[in-house]
Amino acid sequence: MPYTTVGQYEVTDSGIFLWFFDYQRGHLSKINLTKTLLSGSPYPILDKSFRIDASKFPYFRLFYLNDEKLVADCWITEQDRVRIKSFNPETEEVKKSTLFPSMKNIHLLPAEVVNSLYTTTFAKHPSKNVFVQAMATFNRIDIFNENLSMQKSIVDRENWQDDYYDAEEIDPASNFLDERVDGYDGLVCTRDFIFALERKKTPPSNADVRPESYVRVYDWQGRPVCLLQFGNNLSGIGVDEVEGMLYATDYANEMVLRYDIKNQMDGWKN
């Protein structure tokens, strides 16, 4: 598994820094990008590094809050799955939220299937200790504070509700996600907005994938701001709030796209 980042940057007077982690090698580190680029070396210059034993704290994506608190979601085969959890590298104390929305008879499902159903995209506010998860199967976006408490839920249609699904009706040997998907494929958090890329339902073949995509935009109070429609099959998104640019990938057509949404964003802020 390669070095991984969740895009957590720090910009200070002394330079630009990027947090990254390596699950297999067991560390979370902060690269000094400014010094690394000036050095001309292919080896990154690290300002800080933590040892993270994945046998004690398994995780899939990891955020740094301070030296005594890291926030993550669950590893893909973790048995006691939750939505969000924290870890103290000094004391090895672990705190967890609950797993929600609830599902009837969930104990009947293996961990890998539970992971498929509760997959989320996971992001952090650029400057605040506030986290967002947009679910892939359930149509809900949840905002958490640094104490793992859910502060706001953005929901639509029906399947976001507790006990909407019954595990007895799910056959893991079949394409059980077909027609059950009603969530999100991508998530970007900027200072003022939350961008969520709607997930497409699983198609019978690539030829049946609709070319258009939709990105929902919300403010941090969970209020809808805009629905953006694109004439491409978007797979992932990124947003430069300062320049007013939305970047996207279209894997099906092997494209990286850039959209100028500055006028729209200026209007939202006003």
Q: Which string of DSSP letters, residue by residue, matches the chain?
A: ---B----EEEETTEEEEEEEETTTTEEEEEEHHHHHHHT-SSPPEEEEEE--TTTS--SSEEEEETTEEEE---TT-SS--S-EEE-TTT--EEE----S--BTGGGS-HHHHHHHT-EEEEE-SSSSEEEEEESSSSEEEEEETTS-EEEEEE-SSTTSTTSSBGGG--TTS-TTTTT--SEEEEEE-SSEEEEEEPPPPPSSGGG--S-EEEEEEETTS-EEEEEEESS---EEEEETTTTEEEEEEGGGTEEEEEE-HHHHHHHH-
Residue 188, CB-side half-sphere exposure with 13 Å CA sphere: 20
Q: Measure Cα distances from 196 to 62, 225, 250 in Å.
A: 20, 12, 16
pLDDT at position 206 = 55
* Tens of pLDDT, residues 239-258: 999 999 999 999 888 999 99
pLDDT at position 207 = 53
pLDDT at position 252 = 82
pLDDT at position 201 = 64
Two tokens, residue 224: 């809808």
- pTM of the predicted model over 0.85: yes
Nearest CA to 21 out of 72, 69, 56 is that of 72
pLDDT at position 251 = 85
Given a cut of 70, the residues of the chain with pLDDT beneath it are 1-3, 177, 201-210
pLDDT at position 6 = 87
pLDDT at position 218 = 97
pLDDT at position 202 = 53
pLDDT at position 270 = 80
| CB-based contact 184:135 (threshold 8 Å) | yes
